[in-house]
């Protein structure tokens, strides 16, 4: 007593398996691409950060090692009034008493 079952369509089954495996591989490859892009961006940011840190360190050392230059002195004016021109005018501040009103 054998019962006849429905015939199995092998072509439809193999197409479904192929389609699923292609979809899975596409999802996996897209995930791998996204992961690679994220890792690449992190690496680029790290390299830029290191470059900026070394540049900042070099510039700071360069500024610290430079001799401190005073304001350049003005050369004395030539002529009869050289003494009067080389003297800088002075401003004197005289404080004024401020009277507060008593309440």
How far apart, in Å, are the Cα atoms of 47 and each of 30, 44, 58?
A: 26, 5, 17
**What tokens does 90 get?**
């002075």
Dump pLDDT digits (tens) for 51-73: 999 999 999 999 888 887 766 55
Distance, CA of 32 to CA of 81 (rounded, Å): 83
Delimit the domains of the chain by residue range: 40-66
Dump pLDDT digits (tens) for 11-56: 555 555 566 788 888 888 898 999 999 999 999 999 999 999 999 9
Helix (H) or strand (E) holding 87: none
Mean pLDDT of 80-94: 61
Distance, CA of 21 to CA of 14 (rounded, Å): 10
Global pTM reads 0.43
Residue count of the chain: 103
**Is the separation of the CB atoms in 85 and 77 below 8 Å?**
yes
């Amino acid at each position: 007593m054998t019962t006849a079952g429905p015939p199995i369509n092998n072509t439809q089954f193999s197409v479904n398996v192929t389609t699923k495996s292609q979809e899975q591989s596409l999802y996996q490859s897209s995930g791998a691409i996204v992961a690679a892009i994220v890792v690449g961006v992190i690496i680029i940011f790290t390299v830029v950060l290191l470059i900026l840190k070394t540049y900042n360190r070099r510039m700071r050392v360069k500024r610290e090692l430079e001799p401190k230059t005073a304001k350049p002195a003005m050369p004395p004016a030539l002529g009869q009034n050289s003494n009067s021109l080389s003297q800088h005018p002075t401003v004197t501040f005289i404080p004024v008493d401020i009277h507060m009103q008593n309440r």
